[in-house]
């Protein structure tokens, strides 16, 4: 896959879930329910108009993916996270510099990962109880998001320390007792799906490269419930029309 095949043009100021960047989210309130919920995002502010008018929006229902010789994803994660926060929309784990994703000659740095319950993306109509989004940015601010599904099953060891003291509105920023390595929450054994999409939160900026792992991981019912309670609500945007996009696998 050559660089020209990755249509990403996202300015750093538009990255809504990275706390080190400014965005319209800082001053404009939105939610996952009621009159500030997803169906109204595009009307809440001119800055959010793409949520309503965009043609390459995320999440999607991954159906009829086309077989393709996708390049290998090289995860060079060497720095563990020690900080987690609850930003009112999700539980988010921030990472220091030094963790990179390489796709052929393109290098993206891991900034953070966060959770959605239930999953935002679907697979052939199937929803999962939990999904994690690993947000990467290159030097120009272009984004690549790696998505990992979780189904209910055995407890996830990597989540155990995070959930011992999960951040909430009374303690929004915590120090993780044992440093968390991002690679322990990714299953890269069976390939991935790729498509062009958007941020799944306002301002819904397009031009984000999505890489969805095919193989789910497990988390216990208790772990999924604990994350859901910390976020106080389902925090998933409904799936969006695929339009003319192609999903590769």
Question: How far is it, in rounded angstroms, from Cα 191 to Cα 185?
Answer: 15
d(CA 208, CA 206) in angstroms, rounded, equals 6
Please list, in sequence order, all residues whose beta carbon lies within 8 angstroms of the beta carbon of residue 103, skipping any fewer than 6 positions away: 1, 6, 71, 73, 74, 144
* Local structure of 111: helix, strand or coil: strand
d(CA 49, CA 56) in angstroms, rounded, equals 13
Buried b (16+ CB within 10 A) or exposed e, 19-50: eebebbbeeeebbbeeebebeebbebbebbbb
- 89 belongs to the catalytic site: yes
Catalytic residue (one of 89, 114, 116, 133)? 89
Residue with tokens 């969006």: 240
Residues with catalytic roles: 89
């Amino acid at each position: 896959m050559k660089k020209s095949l990755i249509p990403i043009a996202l300015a750093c100021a538009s990255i809504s879930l990275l706390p080190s960047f400014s965005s319209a989210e800082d001053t404009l309130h939105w939610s996952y329910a009621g009159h500030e919920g997803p169906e109204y995002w595009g009307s809440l502010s001119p800055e959010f108009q793409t949520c309503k008018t965009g043609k390459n929006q995320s999440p999607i229902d991954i159906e009829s993916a086309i077989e393709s010789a996708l390049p290998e994803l090289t995860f060079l994660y060497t720095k563990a996270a020690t900080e987690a926060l609850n930003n009112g929309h999700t539980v988010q784990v921030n990472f220091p510099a030094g963790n990179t994703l390489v796709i052929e000659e393109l290098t993206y740095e891991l900034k953070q990962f966060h959770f959605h319950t239930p999953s935002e993306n679907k697979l052939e109509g199937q929803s999962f109880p939990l999904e994690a989004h690993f947000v990467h940015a290159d030097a120009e601010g272009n984004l690549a998001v790696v998505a990992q599904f979780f189904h209910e099953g055995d407890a996830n060891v990597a989540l155990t320390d995070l959930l011992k003291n999960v951040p909430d509105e009374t303690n929004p920023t915590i120090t993780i007792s044992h440093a968390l390595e991002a690679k322990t929450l990714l299953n890269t054994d069976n390939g991935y799906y790729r498509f062009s999409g958007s941020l799944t939160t306002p301002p819904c900026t397009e031009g984000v490269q999505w890489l969805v792992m095919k193989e789910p991981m497990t988390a216990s019912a208790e772990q999924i419930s604990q994350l859901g309670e910390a976020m106080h609500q389902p925090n998933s945007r409904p799936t969006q029309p695929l339009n003319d996009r192609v999903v590769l696998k």
